[in-house]
Structure 1
């Protein structure tokens, strides 16, 4: 996101120079994060990239070694008492009393909720368990819950009252496909209500389907962030060419120093240093029949791989000239 756009957009959360060191190990290093108000921000990164540590610092659960945090307009840690009641969170799996039922556990959580009065608590608990699809098991003991049911109860605790910001760390962990769809629906409802959502996930397809913004972390640092559509549009575009003479087409393109490779769908041509008309003209001059040409936008999986992994040695022939990063 451009600096001017970030300055003009109200932010639900903001960090500057955020750093966390554990016993000499740097977990998060110089993270500048902007979460626009009303956005659904997906936090992506390999294991150990610093996602959960960053989330825990945002919520005041971990004290930064260095850096600044603003949450809902309040600087932490001084403004935590004003900001955190407006935040619902599910971080690193829920923790509840094993011998109490789901409802009894939520009643205990609700007793500490500043936005709930005693009279409104039972109704709020019932609404929360129904919202996450757990009403059928609300009176069962927590120790008998499956992993997916535990995740649902944790989400219910985060949604006991309306929130300005909801933070979810791997919310679909342990859920079956139907449960994952329900979480997607809940996130869509929150977004429609104007709630800001921050969600970390390993499911790139879910992030691409549900998030408006993303932040990609790698080795403790933010390597890209902003509007998801803008990031995908800015990725390396490619062309998919269909022809019966695959080898001749690839040879002709590479002879003209146009990166190309054969795939199951057709010939993928990198457009970093060329254009679609030039690709077609090159093939026609070489006498290669062209049946179909389709432009492809970078998918989130390709973008994620480009930002978080080293170049694939098998791609050397494709990346000529070498793609700049």
Structure 2
């Protein structure tokens, strides 16, 4: 049953089509710190091979959920399954296949970027000792740090530190990569490079889970979205489906605007003139019925398409209930506007 006010299906329904395999899933996930409920009954599905963007205002439980998903924090109640293995019992089998950058990287300040990465590589169970140098060089090149590899970490900018953390997550091929705010501190060029890395991982079949407040980045890179609000998932699914489902309007391109409006209103269908045609509200009707009315009235229909809601509008619809969180999102939106202006 779908919770009122949410978009998407909360529980899988019986279908002839088998459900896609999942790289990770949680059921009834809950985390309580003393009297504070950080995460409350989260049922999250991360489809295998997807790029899933996890969205939510500050304090919505994104990072806590990620930490429980990776076995870094024990849930108060609920279950976690990672790459087919239940946690915490299956952590030793699942975690070597997972690369993660959570809450910012942590490295030794007096070592160079290369030496820090070598220490990370030496601890990789899937990386042979003789392959460490090559793996480190490849990872540095992949995130654009090859020229700064021999500088000490304490001299790195915030963006360079973030890149090094990403390099550590990509030292060996992974089945799942989890990135918590991966573009934090990056300039527009660095952001585009991270976007390219995510696209490369996706093309190679790697599942990617990205937590971000930059909605344009999520819309540009992600195939799926999960929106968290007040510690629970209020919407999840394929991005295109969520945007489509939240848009009950049809845009019809026609030179016969007046005749179209008259015919539709006579049929009890809400409509108004729009740029190059009419905008039809689909509440209580369907697109085929709208087109049938127009064709029977002799209206020339050049094009008909669903009006597409942007991710920002969808996000706002799902999280606007709390005034304080609306202010938080306004700050995220301002960051988005600045980044777009710099591109």
Shorter-chain TM-score bucket reads: 0.7 to 0.9
Residue in 1 aligned with 2:147?
136
Q: Against the structure 1 CA distance between its residues 267 and 201, is the aligned structure 2 distance closer, same or farther, given a 3 Å change threshold?
A: farther
Q: Against the structure 1 CA distance between its residues 238 and 121, is the aligned structure 2 distance closer, same or farther, given a 3 Å change threshold?
A: same
Of the three residues 51, 55, 61, the one matched with 2:66 is: 55
Cα RMSD over matched residues? 3.4
- Tell me the distance in 2 between the aligned counterparts of 1:120 and 1:65: 40
Query: Which stretches of structure 1, 4 residues or more, deviate above 6 A after TM superposition?
Result: 256-268, 291-294
- Tell me the distance in 1 between the aligned counterparts of 2:283 and 2:77: 39
Residue in 1 aligned with 2:283?
272
Q: Against the structure 1 CA distance between its residues 193 and 164, is the aligned structure 2 distance closer, same or farther, given a 3 Å change threshold?
A: same
Q: Is the CA contact 1:236–1:272 (under 8 Å) kept in the aligned structure 2?
A: no
Of the three residues 215, 223, 234, the one matched with 2:245 is: 234
Residue in 1 aligned with 2:115?
104
Please show how residues 5-154 of structure 1 align to structure 2 within 5 Å: 8-154=19-165
Residue deviations 1:18-43, cap 9 Å, x none? 00001110000001111111111111
- Tell me the distance in 1 between the aligned counterparts of 2:215 and 2:270: 26
Q: Is the CA contact 1:236–1:270 (under 8 Å) kept in the aligned structure 2?
A: no
Q: Is the CA contact 1:237–1:270 (under 8 Å) kept in the aligned structure 2?
A: yes
Q: Is the CA contact 1:93–1:151 (under 8 Å) kept in the aligned structure 2?
A: yes
- Tell me the distance in 1 between the aligned counterparts of 2:112 and 2:272: 57
Q: Against the structure 1 CA distance between its residues 191 and 292, is the aligned structure 2 distance closer, same or farther, given a 3 Å change threshold?
A: closer
Displacement after TM superposition at 1:274 (Å): 4.6
Of the three residues 227, 232, 251, the one matched with 1:216 is: 227
- Tell me the distance in 2 between the aligned counterparts of 1:261 and 1:46: 35
Corresponding residue pairs, total: 308
Displacement after TM superposition at 1:238 (Å): 2.4
For structure 1, the 5+ residue unaligned runs are: 244-249, 286-290, 313-325
Displacement after TM superposition at 1:296 (Å): 1.2
**What is the TM-score when the length of structure 1 is the normalising length?**
0.82
- Tell me the distance in 2 between the aligned counterparts of 1:46 and 1:264: 34
**What is the TM-score when the length of structure 2 is the normalising length?**
0.78
Q: Against the structure 1 CA distance between its residues 3 and 137, is the aligned structure 2 distance closer, same or farther, given a 3 Å change threshold?
A: farther
Q: Is the CA contact 2:247–2:307 (under 8 Å) kept in the aligned structure 1?
A: no
SS at match of 1:34: strand
Q: Against the structure 1 CA distance between its residues 261 and 173, is the aligned structure 2 distance closer, same or farther, given a 3 Å change threshold?
A: farther
2:316 maps to 1:305: yes
2:182 maps to 1:174: no
Q: Against the structure 1 CA distance between its residues 239 and 134, is the aligned structure 2 distance closer, same or farther, given a 3 Å change threshold?
A: same
Displacement after TM superposition at 1:258 (Å): 7.1
Displacement after TM superposition at 1:299 (Å): 2.1
- Tell me the distance in 2 between the aligned counterparts of 1:89 and 1:212: 19
